[in-house]
Amino acid sequence: MERIGLIGAGRAGTALGAALAAAGHPLVGVTARSDASLDRAARLLPAVPVLTPDEVARSADVVLVAVPDDLIHEVAHTLPLTSAQYVVHLSGAHGLAPLTGLAATPVALHPSMTFPGGPVRLDGVMFTATAPDAARSIVERLVKALGAQVQWVADGQRARYHAGLVHGANHLTTLVSQAVAVLREAGVADPVATLRPLLVATLDNTLRSGHHALTGPIARGDVDTVAAHLAVLRGSTRRTYAELAWATVELATDGRLDAETVRRLTDVLDGHRADRTGEAPR
């Protein structure tokens, strides 16, 4: 099996390194400088030596550059890489550009998963890869060893791919946090218990059926209810509600809402949106 070298001991890198080691891939070394990184490496990779970046790179067949996005180019270009090696970064937003000009074969490999700082099960997780044809077999072999799946995205589509993940996952946290705060302001004693079954069912239905899973006042054309919500919400939560309500109207113009209801909803929402173009949903 390929020898893996890990540059950086962040949450994603150490979790992936530990998973590869558990799958039988030898980890030749890891770099770690801060106290937090050294502690993480000791917990998740106890048998892996902490080495310098040059030592890690010289000993590995596959070099994982697991550093913050803005440092990938700088760090990768300091490594003594050869044409016999593969250099892999884990960024979702970046394609191959940060690795351009290196002797090693470049790979962008992003797991669609969150890493809290401990061991993470990767079986069934989707990895999204961008790489030259010469790297496809090794990428598929590494991902398969983890029990995960791999899909391929063109280099020019990495930013769009990552935007979809961020919009669906990170913004979900924002949305749920705002909803919890509104329920708490309404006097609900346990907002999380109130939301949990609804959120779980909605997420499952939406992943299965897409926008056809849509329910609620906009799908029903209940303009007065939407107006009442906007009247009691405040600040960024009201703006978020209005923007998402506008996007929901667009989804519901698939035959569920007639033109007059769309016009009335547009009139209600227009005064509360951050970017008012005056353009009706199409």
- Extents of the domains making up the chain: 4-154, 167-270
In this predicted structure, the answer to whether residue 24 has a pLDDT above a threshold of 70 is: yes
Query: What is the percentage of the chain residues whose pLDDT exceeds 90?
Result: 93
Q: Which amino acid is at 215?
A: T
* pLDDT, tens digit (0-9, with 9 covering 90-100), for 114-133: 999 999 999 999 999 999 99
pLDDT value of residue 276: 52
| Average pLDDT value over all residues in the chain | 95
**Alpha carbons within 13 A on the beta-carbon side of 32:** 23
d(CA 175, CA 194): 15
Tally of helices (H runs) and strands (E runs) in the chain? 12, 7
C-alpha dihedral (114, 115, 118, 124), degrees to nearest 10: 50
Could you tell me if 29 and 19 are in contact, meaning their C-beta atoms sit under 8 angstroms apart? no
CA 19 to chain CA centroid, nearest Å: 19
Ranges assigned E (strand) in the chain: 4-7, 27-30, 62-65, 86-89, 105-111, 126-130, 149-152
In this predicted structure, the answer to whether residue 240 has a pLDDT above a threshold of 60 is: yes
Instruction: State the pLDDT confidence band at 88, using cuts at 50, 70 and 90.
Output: very high
Instruction: State the pLDDT confidence band at 280, using cuts at 50, 70 and 90.
Output: very low
Superfamily of domain 4-154: NAD(P)-binding Rossmann-like Domain (3.40.50.720)
Q: Report angle CA 80, 86, 92 to the nearest 5 degrees.
A: 110
* pLDDT, tens digit (0-9, with 9 covering 90-100), for 136-165: 999 999 999 999 999 999 999 999 999 999
User: Which residues in 36-70 are b (16+ Cβ under 10 Å) and which e?
Assistant: ebeebbeebbeebebbebebbbbbbbbbbbbbeee
In this predicted structure, the answer to whether residue 281 has a pLDDT above a threshold of 60 is: no
pLDDT value of residue 272: 86
Q: Would you mind telling me the total number of residues written for the chain in this entry? A: 282
